[in-house]
Chains A and B, each alone.
Chain A
Amino acid sequence: QKEVEQNSGPLSVPEGAIASLNCTYSDRGSQSFFWYRQYSGKSPELIMFIYSNGDKEDGRFTAQLNKASQYVSLLIRDSQPSDSATYLCAVLMNTGFQKLVFGTGTRLLVSP
């Protein structure tokens, strides 16, 4: 089992719709979770982080965390073509030196 798993996509949504991106992780002791956005040919950019169970909202983005199910998601409301990118889920592992483990990312395509 991979430490952090994401569906590679592509996830295609029309402009204005809600995009839902999902991620599962294996380390039950993990405490910190991050979402990065990566445009083609560019480096990852941190867009959201969440530490507690429940929802965290920032503008059009909502991160959701369910530690019991080892599941974290990112909702993008009113999706725009400029949201088209690969979204990387990252989990801070609780073993040894705490370092982020990244999923392979979900490619999101928002069509006008």
Chain B
Amino acid sequence: DVKVTQSSRYLVKRTGEKVFLECVQDMDHENMFWYRQDPGLGLRLIYFSYDVKMKEKGDIPEGYSVSREKKERFSLILESASTNQTSMYLCASSLAGDYGYTFGSGTRLTIV
């Protein structure tokens, strides 16, 4: 089975901090994605990457950046954390869209 691992299950950070969320997949998938999920708003795509060092903005990229230096690792960076970035963050990977996405277990991030 494909495994997508997110480094932290729960994280509490302070306003203004630079926050790194890490995601690693073990099945040589080309595509990786970062979503945030909020009640009533569903899953919203922040950034995605279809190859090493390639990145594309999703629907809500403001306040975030990403890094993909190796195929298996996709990092989400909150440049200066704000309270409105408190959310569940989900990483996903896929071989191709036709096969659907496999999600990591999620990181519940709280900004105080």
Q: Taking beta carbons and an 8 Å cutoff, which residues of A are in contact with B?
A: 8, 31-32, 34, 42-46, 49, 51, 88, 90, 92, 97-100, 102-105
Contact = CB atoms under 8 A, between A and B. Distances in A.
Nearest to B40: A104
A96 B40 CA distance: 27
Contacts of A43: 90, 103-106
A57 to B, nearest CB: 18
Contacts, number: 48
Contact of B43 (A31, A32, A88, A97): A88
A88 B102 CA distance: 14
Q: Contact residue range for chain B?
A: 20 to 34
Nearest to B94: A100
A104 B105 contact: no
Q: Which of B45, B90, B100 has the most CB of A within 10 A?
A: B100
Contacts of B33: 99
B64 interface: no
Q: Is the interface of B mostly helix, strand, loop or mixed?
A: mixed
Contacts of A90: 100-101
Contact of A46 (B41, B98, B100): B100
Contacts of B96: 98
Given A42-B106, A43-B90, A43-B106, A100 B101 contact: yes
Interface in B40-77: 40-43, 45, 48, 50, 56
A34 B43 CA distance: 14
Q: Which of A51, A98, A99, A103 has the most CB of B within 10 A?
A: A99
Contacts of B100: 32, 34, 46, 49, 90, 100
Contacts of A99: 33, 45, 48, 97
